[in-house]
Amino acid sequence: MRRLLALRDGGNLTTGHVRVAADALGASERTVWRWLAAAQSDETAAAYPGARSRADARFTVTPEIRGLLALWKGNVRAVHRELVLRAARQSPPADAPSLTTLHRVIRRDLTPGERAGLAGGERAARKHDVFLARPRGWRNQVWETDHMQAPVLVDVEGRARRPWITWFTDCATNAITGVAVTPVHPSRESVLAALRSAVLREDPYGPFGGVPEKVRVDRGKDFLSRTVTAAFDVLDVTVEDLPAYTPHLKGTVEGLNRAVEGMFLAALPGYARQPRPGKRPSRPKDEVLLGFEDFTARLLDWTRWWNTEHRPAPLRGRTPLQAWRDDPTPLRDVLAADLWTFTLEDAGTRTLTTRGIRFGKRDYVGPWMTGQAGIQVRVRFMPHHDHRVEVYHAATGRYLGPADLADQATEEQVSAVRRARAARARRLKKDLEASQRERYAAVNQPEAPRRLGALTTAQAEAELAQAAGTDLSGLAMPDLIPPAAPPADWRTPASLAALTTAARPAPLPSSRDSAPVVPDGPAPRRGAPPPTDEDGDA
């Protein structure tokens, strides 16, 4: 625009110059001529051709506008209503911007990321950010791991549950190196099981595996537990603990979490479709859910398809298996027996007695213990697998064998105990809800909340008496037996001395310490009543 103004001042401006500028700016010739007319009187128009400064100069996005946008979740119309009300309340009343001006100024002063963040929070604003891509690296350079709750209802012992998937993925080849499925919420045991399947390269886990150089986690307490951290330390694996709420820093496994739902889980029976906020997911009433074993088998088949047939875009037409085999980086392997030992939790040393090994207030026995009572052993166990422990020699570290729980209950007994516990929990929950449920009257005009539920005097007194009878602190009577009086040489305040009992009489000496005291007068006959004084008192 400044070049056109210079040509115009020199008298050399032609229609051809304006036509070329209009093509470059994507505007019509008439629009460029209008911009030239405005630029002759305003330098800002020359720097920003086409900018609407007449209305926007009077109004900009202020901190107050940003606060209202955040309050109303990015609803510009609601913000406009609030501005109109505030302008009308001023004295004298002020002019509020029009809705069109407000929309235009918000688009001008706020970036798309800011508008999305004010409407949906930081996670919505992150979708408009630009992220750098990490270099691909080499196989087993970096792994990423995560838990994912599958949006699929699975039949687990007669109950519909959403299982959890724990897996490790290689960032260089996009291969799923290890996976573990848990019917309920995962724990460190799930991480250790997935780690074993990821490191081992023998069937059925191979050919992917080996020991990685680094593993990225997202501050999950299971991945940072003492047992898992110790296993990584023994395997010489660096654990990179990422900051909270930064899924983009482990994009490989997060992309896998999104891909498995759209490519596999959405087609399974029992898929819990993502509902609208505040609405339960719906599914057909006659739908037959998969069993946990069937779900696990299908997930493992899909994992093999992902590794051997799927061609992710970052691999440029190759499968993860082809990318893995094309990489000449040497692998670090660990023997299966050693890996099993490294991924067990250490419970310290114990003495092998004639009753076996005492661990967790229970006895564990094994057939190999015959004739070895009295030796020192080291106990290792899989977290939450309390039916068996692994035993090693304390001095040499040699593996001795497993030990099973002695006097273990049968499956029928365990099921009966679980049913009794579930019934007790349901009964207790029902009692608590019934005792704490409060009802209020419905209103159709502004008034104070009115609680419902009338009680008679007898009912109120009976409930209060029952509550007082169960309150142990109310039953305590600390002043029933006052404390004894302190010695006479103590300086006791009068207020405390009044709360004590009188001095207790000194005990009579025993016959072994001194001679008995003989009263005056004749000795009373055996069986005669005690002597009395003149008033008849004993």
* CA distances to 157, 265, 300 from 291, in Å: 9, 14, 14
Give the residues across from 268 on adjacent strands.
none
Mapped onto helix, strand or coil, the DSSP state of residue 22 is: helix
Question: What is the rounded distance in angstroms from the CA atom of residue 325 to the CA atom of residue 140?
Answer: 12
In-domain check, residue 61: yes
Is residue 7 within 8 A of residue 17, CB to CB? The reply is: yes
In-domain check, residue 75: yes
First to last CA, the chain: 129
Give the residues across from 176 on adjacent strands.
169
Is residue 378 within 8 A of residue 393, CB to CB? The reply is: yes
Judge if 351 and 252 occupy the same domain: no
Predicted confidence at residue 112, as pLDDT, reads: 93
In-domain check, residue 158: yes
**Single residue among 379, 405, 431 that ends a domain in this structure:** 405
Judge if 107 and 215 occupy the same domain: no
Domain that holds residue 150: 142-275+285-326
Burial profile 506-538: b = 16 or more Cβ within 10 angstroms, e = fewer = eeeeeeeeeeeeeeeeeeeeeeeeeeeeeeeee
Judge if 220 and 83 occupy the same domain: no
pLDDT per residue as tens, the chain (538 positions): 778 888 888 888 888 888 888 888 788 888 888 888 887 777 767 767 766 555 445 678 889 999 999 999 999 999 999 999 998 888 888 888 899 999 999 998 899 999 999 998 888 888 898 887 888 899 999 999 999 999 999 998 888 889 999 999 999 999 999 999 998 888 888 898 899 899 998 877 778 999 999 999 988 888 888 888 888 998 999 999 998 878 888 889 999 999 999 999 998 998 887 655 555 556 667 778 999 999 999 999 999 999 999 999 889 899 999 999 999 999 999 888 888 888 888 888 889 888 888 888 888 888 888 888 889 999 888 776 777 888 898 888 888 888 888 877 667 766 777 777 788 888 888 877 776 666 666 666 666 777 666 667 777 777 777 766 655 555 566 666 777 778 888 888 877 777 776 655 545 554 444 444 444 444 445 444 555 444 444 4
User: How many domains does one find in the chain?
Assistant: 4
In-domain check, residue 419: no
In-domain check, residue 506: no
**Where do we find the tokens 């009187």?**
41
Judge if 68 and 111 occupy the same domain: yes
Neighbours of 484 (CB within 10 A): 11
Predicted confidence at residue 50, as pLDDT, reads: 67
Residues with Cβ within 8 Å of residue 117, at least 6 apart in sequence: 124, 125
pTM, full prediction: 0.63
Which residue, 374, 371, 369, 370, is CA-closest to 389?
369
Judge if 40 and 60 occupy the same domain: no
Predicted confidence at residue 213, as pLDDT, reads: 94
In-domain check, residue 23: yes
In-domain check, residue 356: yes
DSSP 458-482: HHHHHHHHHHHHH-HHHH--TTSSP
Sheet holding 176-182, edge to edge: 176-182, 164-170, 142-149, 214-217, 238-241
In-domain check, residue 332: no
Secondary structure string (H, E, C) spanning 341-405: HHCCEEEEEEECECCEEEECCEEEECHHHCCCCCCEEEEEECCCCCCEEEEEECCCCCEEEEEEE
